Amino acid sequence: MTAAPLDRAEDPRRRIPRTDTLLALPEIVEARPRLSEAVLRSLITHAQSRARSGEITPEDVVPAVRAAVAARNATTLRPVLNATGVVVHTNLGRAPLPQAAVEALVASSGYVDVELDLASGQRSKRGTGTRGALLAALPAAVLEAVPDGVDALVVNNGAAALVLATTALAGTGELIVSRGELVEIGAGFRLPDLIASTGSRLREVGTTNRTHRADYADAIGPQTTGLLKIHPSNFRVDGFTSSVSIAELRTLADEAEIDRGDGRPLPLIVDIGSGLLTHDPLLPDEPDLAEALTAGADVVIASGDKLLGGPQAGILLGRSRTIQRLATHPLARAVRADKLTLAALEATLTAGPSPVAQSLHADPARLRERADRLAAAVDAPVVAHEGRVGGGGAPGVPLAGWAVRLPEELAPLLRTGEPAVLPRVHDGACLVDLRCIPEPDDGRLADAVRAAQTRLACTRGPGNTGDLPDLPPGPGR
Whether 340 and 452 share a structural domain: no
* Domain co-membership, 238 together with 263: yes
Q: What is the pLDDT of residue 12?
A: 84
Name every residue whose Cβ is closer than 8 Å to that of residue 386 and which is 6 or more positions away in sequence: 85, 398, 399, 400, 401
Residue 298 lies in a domain: yes
DSSP labels for 183-242? -B-GGG-BHHHHHHTTTPEEEEES-SSB--HHHHHHH--TTEEEEEEE---S----SS-B
The verdict on 84 and 174 lying in the same domain is no
List the end-to-end C-alpha distance of the chain, in Å, as a whole number. 74
Boundary residue ending a domain (288, 321, 353):
353
Q: Is residue 467 part of a domain?
A: no
88: phi then psi, degrees, rounded to nearest 5: -100, 90
- Listing DSSP states for 392-419 in one string gives TBSTT--EEEEEEEEETTHHHHHHTSSS
- Name beta bridge partners: 177: 204
* In a shared domain, residues 113 and 215: yes
Q: Do 84 and 137 fall into the same domain?
A: no
Q: Are residues 329 and 372 in the same domain?
A: no
Residue (of 304, 280, 278) closest to 292 by Cα position: 278
- Give the per-residue pLDDT at 144: 92
Contact 367, 402 (CB under 8 A): yes
- The H or E element spanning position 23 is helix 19-23
Q: Which residues contact 232 (CB under 8 A, 6 or more apart)?
A: 180, 181, 183, 395
pLDDT of residue 35: 95
Spatial distance between the Cα atoms of 327 and 44, rounded to a whole number of angstroms:
50
Same structural domain for residues 46 and 128? no
**Residue 330 burial (CB < 10 Å; 0-12/13-18/19+)?**
exposed
**b vs e for 76-90, b when ≥16 Cβ sit within 10 Å of the residue's Cβ?**
eeeebbbbbbbbbbe
**pLDDT score recorded for residue 472:** 36
Q: Say if 159 falls within a structural domain.
A: yes
Select from 330, 353, 376 the last residue of a domain. Answer: 353
Q: What is the CATH number of the domain that holds 156?
A: 3.40.640.10
Question: What distance in Å separates the CA atoms of residue 79 and residue 415, rounded to the nearest whole number?
Answer: 11
Q: Residue 426: which CATH number? A: 3.90.1150.180
Q: What is the predicted pLDDT for the residue at 273?
A: 87
Per-residue pLDDT at 342: 98
Residues 258, 157: one domain? yes
Cα 474 from Cα 447, distance rounded (Å): 23
Is residue 360 helix, strand or coil? helix
245 and 103, same domain (yes or no): yes
**Whole-number pLDDT of residue 151:** 97
Domain encompassing residue 62 = 8-71
Examine the fold and report which residue of 353, 386, 413 is the final residue of a domain before the chain moves on: 353
- Asked if the structure places residue 196 within a domain, the reply is yes
Distance, in Å, from the CA atom of 258 to the CA atom of 251, rounded to the nearest integer, reads 11
Tell whether 250 is covered by a domain. Answer: yes
Q: Where are the beta strands (DSSP E) in 266-409?
A: 268-273, 299-303, 314-319, 382-387, 399-407
CA dist., res. 382 & res. 405, Å (int): 6
Predicted local distance difference test score (pLDDT) of residue 148: 87
Q: Is 197 exposed, middle or buried (0-12, 13-18, 19+ CB in 10 A)?
A: exposed
The answer to the question of residue 387 being in a domain is: yes
- Co-location of 109 and 56 in the same domain: no
Q: Are residues 440 and 294 in the same domain?
A: no
CB atoms closer than 10 angstroms to residue 305: 28
Q: Give yes or no: residues 116 and 63 share one domain.
A: no
Q: How many domains does the chain have?
A: 3
Question: What are the two backbone dihedrals, phi and then psi, of residue 281, each rounded to the nearest 5 degrees?
Answer: -55, -25
What are the beta bridge partners of residue 405? 431
pTM score above 0.85: yes
In a domain, 262, yes or no: yes
CB of 303 closer than 8 Å to CB of 275: yes
pLDDT at 374: 98
- Residue pLDDT, tens place only, 280-296: 999 998 999 999 999 99
Instruction: Identify whether 227 is part of a domain.
Output: yes
Low-confidence ranges of the chain (pLDDT < 70): 1-9, 186-187, 234, 258-264, 461-477
